[in-house]
Structure 1
Amino acid sequence: MKPAIAIAVLSVCAVAQAEVERPKEAEMQKVEVKGSAAKYDARRDDTASKTVVSAEEIQKYGDTSVNDVLKRLPGITVGGAAGRPGGEIRMRGLGAGYTQILINGERAPAGFSIDSLAPDVIERIEVLRAASAEFSTQSIAGTINIVLKKALKSAQREVKFSQAKGSKSSSPSMSLQMSDKGVGTSYSLGANAWRFMSNRMTPTWETGADGDGVPKLSRASTWQDQGRGQGFNLSPRINWTLENGDTVTSQSFVNWNSFASNSHGRTTTAFGAGPDYDRTDNTYSNHNGFGRTDLNWVHKLGQGAKLDLKAAYSMARSSADSLQFAGSNGLPATLLRTVHGESQEQGWSTQGKYSLPYTFSTPAEGEPDATEHALSMGWDAGITDRDDSRVQRDADLPGSAPMNSDEGFSAKVTRLALYGQDEWNITPRWSIYTGVRWEGLETRADGGAIDAVQNRSSVFSPIMQTLFKLPNKKDQLRLAVTRTYKAPSTATLIPRKFSSINNSPTEPDRRGNPDLKPELALGLDASFEHYWGDGGLLSASASVRRIQNYTHQGLLYEDQRWISTSINDGRAETRGIELEAKFPVSALMDDAPKLDLRASVSRNWSRVDSVPGPDNRLDQQVPLSATLGVDYKTADGQVSTGSSFSFRNGGLARLSGTQGGYTSVRRDLDVYALWKLDQQNSLRVAVSNLLAQDYTTESLYSDANGSLNRRTVADGETQLRVTVEARF
């Protein structure tokens, strides 16, 4: 690992050194004029702490998935194996709903995969480590708000063609960005389309022992999967500026993708009992579509007041089909199962915000300075209707035990939130943000195969953040006290059952729990930030969260079947520290090349009271993560290059008194280079997952009668991506 990192970093430094030593025939003086907008830094100046990732940073490596962008950000980790879809996004090492993901300030619908969102349609990413009243407080770990493109440029056209290739996968893609301005009107359109193909082999080993530790089971399985998929994003936006200065904006987002696979599983038993089925052949396909459109009206009132109103409609549809064919001991197949599932979700929402800046009267001579306030209040309401069906049919083959089911339900989720907030500049160096938010959520569901469900909850969330800038104008302190929560999803509330083929404690059936309550958390965040030069930053932060009604996956044994279901189980606590540094080399030395360095490290701890230790961490929390990066740009700006290394520790985590899980360390090393061929055309080359490290996960079960261990290895893969970019 270390030699590869050193090679990547040294290659960037060598290019930079060569540029410094290259004789210059002529040097053109460049005058740069910066207005007040350029001096504004949301992270440095906003009282409510927020880190903003720009479009330039997002597109630097030519990624085709937003997950690959997020894994390089300080304090954020992405679960799963590198280069494989579906990784869970985590802040403070916590996933499973603790980290809130928003698109334009709103939660995505159930089933929407965030890694299908193309980075080219994103304007910026906002990372909020402490809650604010304006957004939902379903953010115990924090919030990541993905803002789709809004900035409009006159007569801009940009086309990108990309081809990514690895030893086991291939993925071509293309994107189009268009925008223009007229008198009182402007528009933009982003479009992305992609395909991917993969052919992977995933081995699994199962071992077991009796209560005395004597081995009684040893199995080895292989799972070969050939998959292909395609999809596209569309994000049109139109702005109108009215004669009175009001603005009306229509913004839409459409996402469609499909996937199909053929997979084959084979199991060999060295000793002990064999599985119910030692050979399985599966075909699977799904289609997913999601669209949302909103209309936003901003009306200016007197004395700087403003009214911001938005109405939105969204619809999501998905369907999935699978065919499972399984047998054992070389005999004819005894399982032929078809499953067809469909879901449709539509939602209506409305948001409104009234904001008013005001200043107390100018004080008399000798009295303290006047204080400024930015007051706002508003609402966020919505209704979501969901219809879901799942039909399972097993053929009545000799020796089989068919498990047929018709499971469907209709659900309605109603939410209402009211909030108020005030940012108070007490002095030029001291400001306080206070807010309060009330959120109510009601879920109703009914269906022929389930009992009626009614779950209602509400949370009152007071929030306080403060920023104090020290007299030296370089250092500042932050403090935040928040109350946040995690609401159970609709899927975890519906008490329908999903059956596994080879049922065991490590491969149980799944079932929802209609009696779940929201988890409530009281949080404290503190940080110190030091700024210097042009872009230099050193920061240190610490946080703690105390959680009530902690939810985890319980394991039951009913009717000769193992069943996993979510349960509330006591209290938990999580703590963490984070260190970050980024600066240009010019901040340390004169006549330095345009070299930017960045590094971060995050250490997390947690404890679940109801689970015996050690390793009784929250939701398999990532205990340690780190990033290291270097970027270089030539003096003429024609060549840019850089590398990024991200590290995520794993280890053992206990989920209950009998269950546990293990994940291996994950190391990602990415490099890129960008050549501006002329003013309109560029060539970008990137290599991701240069270390090609395998990723191991284990599922563990142990009680007085013995233990069972299931270990799976996802092999690593290096991928080369070439992107051609043209502007016209």
Structure 2
Amino acid sequence: MAQELSTEQTELNEVREVVVYATRYRDRTADIAPVLSYDLEYFQKFEPNTVGDMLKRVPGVAFVGSDIAEYDGAQLRGLGGGYTQVLINGKRVPGAGDDRSFWVDRIPAEMVERVEILRSNSANRSGDAVAGAINIILRDSYSFDGTYVRAGLNHWYDGEANPTFGAVTSGDFAGGRILAGVNIQDRYRAKEKRSDRFSDASQEELVSWEDQTEVKDGRDYSANLSYIVDVGDAARLTLDGFFVKTDRDVTEVSFEEELDDGQTIDARVPGLNPIDQKNWGFGGEFEFDMMGGATEISVDHARFQDDSSTTEETHSYISEVSNWDRVWSIDGADWDGSEAEAESVDASDAETGFKLAHKRPLGSDVRMEFGVDYRQKKRDITYTTLEWEAEEEGDPVMYEPDSIITSVIKEKRLDPYMQFSGDAGKLSWELGLRYETTDSDIRYVEDGAVEGAASTDYDKLLPSVHFKWDVSESDRISLSLARSVKRPNFNELIPALLDGEYGDNDYIGNPRLEMETANGVDLGYERRLGRQGVVGVNLFYRRIENLIELTNTGIAGQDALASIGEDELDDEDFAGDFMDDYMDEHPGASKREAQAAADAALRAAVADAGGEFEPDSWLFTSENVGTGKVYGVELDVSTPLSVLGLPNTGVFLNYSWVKSEVTDFLGERRFNDQAKSVYNIGFIHDLPVLDVSFGATYRKQGDAFSRVLAEEVTIRYGDELDLFVEKRFGNNFSVRLSANNLLDASKDEIFHKFDNMDDQIDRDYDEFELESEEAGPYYQIVARWAF
């Protein structure tokens, strides 16, 4: 082990490499499991601001649901963020998403040493990575030496300009090496959105339209620290930490117009969403020789905090006209009303982990690793809602409390594992077994009263096996088989009854959900092209069992109960009064049980009155049902064109095609929000005589479809084109100009909206909407100085 440590010490990057880059390509790793590795230099020519900007050029990474020209929720294999595990320095980190996802645009690119795409599971990693894992490796003091400063300016299509600044320094300190980095960047994005709403998909009758301007204006602050010291001749202590703060205001102004029975209703809808979010974490590892092997002890803690709010006002005016000109105006209109809603979020999500692992050789060709991971998590979120309604035009907004909802989820995990690996000539193999256990406690409180609480536990055995066959010095074949899991989304576990969550249908969480389990296969071929180039193709398949989908409980929804009570019994409050009395008489009952009892009582009362009970809305929940399949092919190429006599020109190409099958309440579909394909193509050309480089990338993401109860959405993103040109001055200074979104790509969404499941089956529309947003091209100039 001491020999390995001293070898790493000699591989420090010189500071001038941060300023004067050679054209870099995808690294070919020595891992037995399938791993793609991309150094910062692979991305840096295009001057990415965040990890999201980096990942949009990596094979198989899609961003469905992100606003145009933003890249936050990364999706491998096109699956939702909850199927993709995001790690920082190999450790799990909490994030904002209810699906346990982490928004990768929170991490600035300048903090990153490299990005790894882990296509299949190994026993020594957490198994909740059905689609794969993205490992973000931050700079450390043994990967960089020196000091540099980065300063730049972003210019947006609407004329706004804002700065960015970063600095990194590394050197000897207290017998070891230390690295410190800071980054401050103004984050700005303005976009225009247009919505046209029709009575149905024929688009023959336009019923309303909306123009919206949205501006996201804020600043991100970040810092990272790494300290590494050798302890004696055969031990090493590593300490690292990071901090990211997002301070942003999202301002929206919408102008809406609706035609209703010969009257035109105009509305001005201003909205404000101040965002204050923090991600931070720290960790320590101690590696030392012990009993003929190497032992690792590591501790880490990471936290996500969110203190944000949203306000939206609606000021309506009405006029007697028979048609409209689709230009918003209130001239000659009468005030119809003003109302407002507000919601604040106070969230804290913390994870603490401990790992003990031991590695040792078993003979000359076999290695063994065994250990245990312990992790505990606490997610505590409080939503406070307020509302206001004006009595007269011009009344000031005075919010009144509406509700306070708190949910707390605690999880404890203890995961032992064992892994063997070895070499048999040109064939390398890895065999592992991981046993994952989870204990969960869930508590839901509304307006100070406990509305639901439950405890559950999971356990799953996760085997994995990997083979790597070096057919020749240039050719490699890999095969991986592994089982992985996906834990339920947080909102699927919380037993909160949400009235009208899906059209007229209600929803309640299910704390008894089991983990989804996936059996996966990856088969890959990779070939070295010359000294630097690589071409690879990978086939993958995942069979997902215990799939979580919406199901109908068979209990009538609250809207239907009220309607039936009014129509058949002339008592709209029958079900509501019954539920309140039931909860009082049964203190331990859940709201689901109360609604089921109200359903049964109303059925009986309607039957006694000689009526007919025909609900048109229902109470839905999440259940483990059936199986799903995901499969596809991934191709990536990165190589200089030396064979064509162009050694200073590098080309990059990656393409991923995915397909899936899921059965939901209406039949077969793809996984929700799965882009059918994503590809990137680009080049970089160096002119060494002039110390100049330039290049371009083109990206296209396929359509994605989502179907939930009462709504179906198709999302389509436009083509993206980015360019850069760089001029170097000596070995220590460079200036780079980059231009992004030059094709002014749009995000287009098609919404099919219904009131309930029966209407969705019959295609009886509540509304059909076309929505499109654009953010325009933007430019960045950045200077780097090393000293």
TM bucket (normalised to shorter chain) is 0.7 to 0.9
Does the aligned pair in 1 maintain the 2:359–2:368 contact within 8 Å? Answer: yes
**1:203 partnered with 2:200:** no
Of 358, 361, 367, 1:357 maps to 361
Q: How does 1:157-556 map to 2 (within 5 A)?
A: 157-168=147-158, 170-182=161-173, 184-209=175-200, 218-270=207-259, 278-303=267-292, 305-330=293-318, 331-360=335-364, 372-395=365-388, 397=390, 404-426=402-424, 428-449=425-446, 450-470=451-471, 472-496=472-496, 505=503, 512-552=509-549
- 1-structure distance, mates of 2:620, 2:214: 26
Aligned partner of 1:709: which letter? Answer: F
The aligned counterpart of 2:559 is 560
CA 1:375–1:599: 2 relative to 1, 3 Å? same
The aligned counterpart of 2:332 is none
- 1-structure distance, mates of 2:441, 2:384: 22
Secondary structure of the corresponding residue to residue 43 of structure 1: coil
The aligned counterpart of 2:327 is none
Aligned partner of 2:245: which letter? Answer: W
Offset at 1:550? 1.9
CA 1:444–1:473: 2 relative to 1, 3 Å? same
Secondary structure of the corresponding residue to residue 655 of structure 1: strand
Query: Deviations for 1:158-184, whole angstroms, at most 9, x for unmatched residues?
Result: 110121112145442111101002463
Of 11, 36, 50, 1:51 maps to 36
Query: Deviations for 1:426-465, whole angstroms, at most 9, x for unmatched residues?
Result: 2x21111111111122221224323013232222110011
Secondary structure of the corresponding residue to residue 453 of structure 1: strand
- 2-structure distance, mates of 1:523, 1:70: 23
The aligned counterpart of 1:703 is 761
Does the aligned pair in 2 maintain the 1:185–1:241 contact within 8 Å? Answer: yes
- Return 573-582 or 447-456, whichever deviates more: 447-456
- 2-structure distance, mates of 1:600, 1:693: 20
The aligned counterpart of 1:364 is none
Does the aligned pair in 2 maintain the 1:425–1:432 contact within 8 Å? Answer: yes
Offset at 1:396? 5.9
CA 1:629–1:498: 2 relative to 1, 3 Å? farther
- 1-structure distance, mates of 2:109, 2:482: 31
Does the aligned pair in 2 maintain the 1:70–1:78 contact within 8 Å? Answer: no
Offset at 1:509? 8.2
Offset at 1:41? 9.4
- 1-structure distance, mates of 2:413, 2:379: 14
**1:573 partnered with 2:634:** no
The aligned counterpart of 2:56 is 71
The aligned counterpart of 1:603 is 657
CA 1:214–1:149: 2 relative to 1, 3 Å? closer
Does the aligned pair in 1 maintain the 2:680–2:700 contact within 8 Å? Answer: yes
Secondary structure of the corresponding residue to residue 72 of structure 1: coil
The aligned counterpart of 1:5 is none
Offset at 1:255? 1.1
The aligned counterpart of 1:13 is none
The aligned counterpart of 1:714 is 773
Offset at 1:554? 6.4
Offset at 1:613? 6.2
- CA-atom RMSD in angstroms: 3.1
The aligned counterpart of 1:118 is 108
Offset at 1:333? 3.5
Does the aligned pair in 1 maintain the 2:228–2:239 contact within 8 Å? Answer: yes
Does the aligned pair in 2 maintain the 1:217–1:273 contact within 8 Å? Answer: no
- 2-structure distance, mates of 1:269, 1:555: 34
Offset at 1:620? 2.5
Does the aligned pair in 2 maintain the 1:649–1:664 contact within 8 Å? Answer: yes
Does the aligned pair in 2 maintain the 1:648–1:665 contact within 8 Å? Answer: yes
Does the aligned pair in 1 maintain the 2:215–2:252 contact within 8 Å? Answer: yes
Secondary structure of the corresponding residue to residue 121 of structure 2: coil
TM-score (normalizing by structure 2): 0.78
The aligned counterpart of 2:675 is 622
CA 1:469–1:709: 2 relative to 1, 3 Å? same
- 1-structure distance, mates of 2:489, 2:402: 26
Does the aligned pair in 2 maintain the 1:83–1:717 contact within 8 Å? Answer: no
Does the aligned pair in 1 maintain the 2:527–2:535 contact within 8 Å? Answer: yes
Q: Which one has the largest radius of gyration?
A: 2
Aligned partner of 1:392: which letter? Answer: T
Structure 1 residue runs of 5 or longer lacking an equivalent are 1-39, 361-371
Secondary structure of the corresponding residue to residue 480 of structure 2: strand
CA 1:248–1:683: 2 relative to 1, 3 Å? same
- 2-structure distance, mates of 1:499, 1:232: 39
Q: How does 1:74-89 map to 2 (within 5 A)?
A: 74-80=59-65, 84-85=69-70, 87-89=72-74
- 2-structure distance, mates of 1:335, 1:453: 37
Q: How does 1:631-710 map to 2 (within 5 A)?
A: 631-635=684-688, 638-650=691-703, 653=705, 655=707, 659-701=711-753, 702-704=760-762, 706-707=764-765, 708-710=767-769
Secondary structure of the corresponding residue to residue 45 of structure 1: coil
**1:723 partnered with 2:723:** no
CA 1:680–1:313: 2 relative to 1, 3 Å? same
Does the aligned pair in 1 maintain the 2:470–2:477 contact within 8 Å? Answer: yes
CA 1:654–1:197: 2 relative to 1, 3 Å? closer
Query: Deviations for 1:583-636, whole angstroms, at most 9, x for unmatched residues?
Result: 2111x24x534111222222111111336567x111231112211121122345
Does the aligned pair in 2 maintain the 1:396–1:402 contact within 8 Å? Answer: no
Does the aligned pair in 1 maintain the 2:187–2:219 contact within 8 Å? Answer: yes
Does the aligned pair in 2 maintain the 1:287–1:319 contact within 8 Å? Answer: yes
Aligned length: 666
- Return 431-440 or 627-636, whichever deviates more: 627-636
Secondary structure of the corresponding residue to residue 664 of structure 1: strand
Query: Deviations for 1:532-583, whole angstroms, at most 9, x for unmatched residues?
Result: 3112323222111111122345699833398886543321111101222222
Offset at 1:409? 2.8
CA 1:150–1:275: 2 relative to 1, 3 Å? farther
Does the aligned pair in 2 maintain the 1:350–1:382 contact within 8 Å? Answer: yes
Offset at 1:726? 0.8
Aligned partner of 1:180: which letter? Answer: G
Query: Deviations for 1:311-336, whole angstroms, at most 9, x for unmatched residues?
Result: 12233322122333224444354523
Does the aligned pair in 2 maintain the 1:617–1:655 contact within 8 Å? Answer: no
Secondary structure of the corresponding residue to residue 492 of structure 1: helix
Aligned partner of 1:293: which letter? Answer: F
Does the aligned pair in 2 maintain the 1:658–1:703 contact within 8 Å? Answer: no
**1:583 partnered with 2:639:** yes
- 1-structure distance, mates of 2:30, 2:720: 33
TM-score (normalizing by structure 1): 0.84
- 2-structure distance, mates of 1:105, 1:52: 14
Aligned partner of 2:723: which letter? Answer: V
Does the aligned pair in 1 maintain the 2:258–2:266 contact within 8 Å? Answer: no
The aligned counterpart of 2:83 is 98
Secondary structure of the corresponding residue to residue 78 of structure 2: coil
- 2-structure distance, mates of 1:672, 1:726: 18
Aligned partner of 1:186: which letter? Answer: R
CA 1:658–1:686: 2 relative to 1, 3 Å? same
